[in-house]
Amino acid sequence: MPRSDLYPDIAPFDSGYLPLDHGHTMYWEQVGSASGVPVLFLHGGPGAGAGAVHRRFFDPDRFRVVIFDQRGAGRSRPLGSLVANDTPRLVEDIERLRRHLGVRRWMLFGGSWGSTLALAYGQAHPERVSGFVLRGIFLGREREITWFLEGLARFFPDVWKPFAQHAGATRAEELLAAYRRLLEHPDPRVHLPAARAWSVYEGSCSTLVPSPDTVASFAEDRTALGLARIEAHYFANKLFLPEPGLLGHMERIAHLPAEIIQGRYDMICPPESAFALAEAWPRARLTIVPDAGHSALEPGIRSALLAAVERIRPVLEEPPG
């Protein structure tokens, strides 16, 4: 019978901080089996950071799971820093971590922005990837950013209104510019309330059924600051993705196996992106969860991710051709 519950809590068997460039330091940890199939967990945002719950999507007897906080996020230092913070550098950070840990190839597991970064890394280093399990697909296109900033008002007008009022704007471009000014202001009395307004807005739209616990976690100062400041920075720079976007470079990873999990009612990352990605990927399997939104912790998404990891595991264990 397919597993529906996450694996039990587990502590890392190894962890540390890896110096990067421009004053950044990356937090990383490993959980599971040191001799297991290597997996890299990529958190969302950008800027959200990873947590203990993310260790629990993988069988600890079969997988060697590497989890890290991207520069400026979570336990990486300094929190919320935008200095030298862009997608190409995140891709290089992953390569630096891979070399540091002595991993030859790993499966990439990520949702939302984590799916974006997984695709960007995979397209840059396909020889280092054994497969993908992706959730809540975000391709970083302009219409996806506009949807998040403005389009969500059609479904969450009560949540969007305070988000817009805090910035004193209503159109996507104006909202983004206003929030960037507030979030990058040096005074915490200015940037922290703006970060909470942005992050609470995102958390409130992330689940099919309202989840006060989800909203409360998004409202925490450390989570909110990293998420809001870095996310606005990336949105304003079109996610620092090369032209013609991720779909334009799919030939680089078309030979790799992939599982794509998408909530039918995902309001943060609407399903059209998951369908577009699956159509461009010969070896991808798309699973639509009929009773779920965006969050990886919703019951349907959680179960589908656990099943996807088990489906793809035998392929990952095969020696590369």
**pLDDT tens column, 129-176:** 999 999 999 999 999 999 999 999 999 999 999 999 999 999 999 999
For 215-236, what is each residue's pLDDT tens digit? 999 999 989 999 999 999 999 9
The whole-angstrom separation of Cα 314 and Cα 138 is 27
| 32, containing H or E segment | strand 25-32
Residue of 81, 115, 294, 303 marked active site:
294
Catalytic residue among 112, 199, 211, 295: 112
Q: Is 265 exposed, middle or buried (0-12, 13-18, 19+ CB in 10 A)?
A: middle
pLDDT at residue number 319: 65
What domains are defined for the chain?
A: 14-140+241-316 (3.40.50.1820), 143-239 (no CATH)
255 included as an active-site residue:
no
pLDDT reported for residue 296: 98
- What is the percent of the chain with per-residue pLDDT over 90, rounded to a whole number? 96
**Could you confirm whether 266 is annotated as catalytic?**
yes
Mean pLDDT by 10 residues, the chain (321 residues): 87 98 98 98 98 98 98 98 98 98 98 98 98 98 98 98 98 98 98 98 97 95 96 98 95 98 98 98 98 97 98 83 52
Q: Is 112 a catalytic residue?
A: yes
DSSP 258-317: EEEEEETT-SSS-THHHHHHHHT-TTEEEEEETT--S-TTSHHHHHHHHHHHHHHHHHHT
Q: What is the pLDDT of residue 100?
A: 98
pLDDT at position 49 is 97
Spot the catalytic one: 266, 273, 295, 303: 266
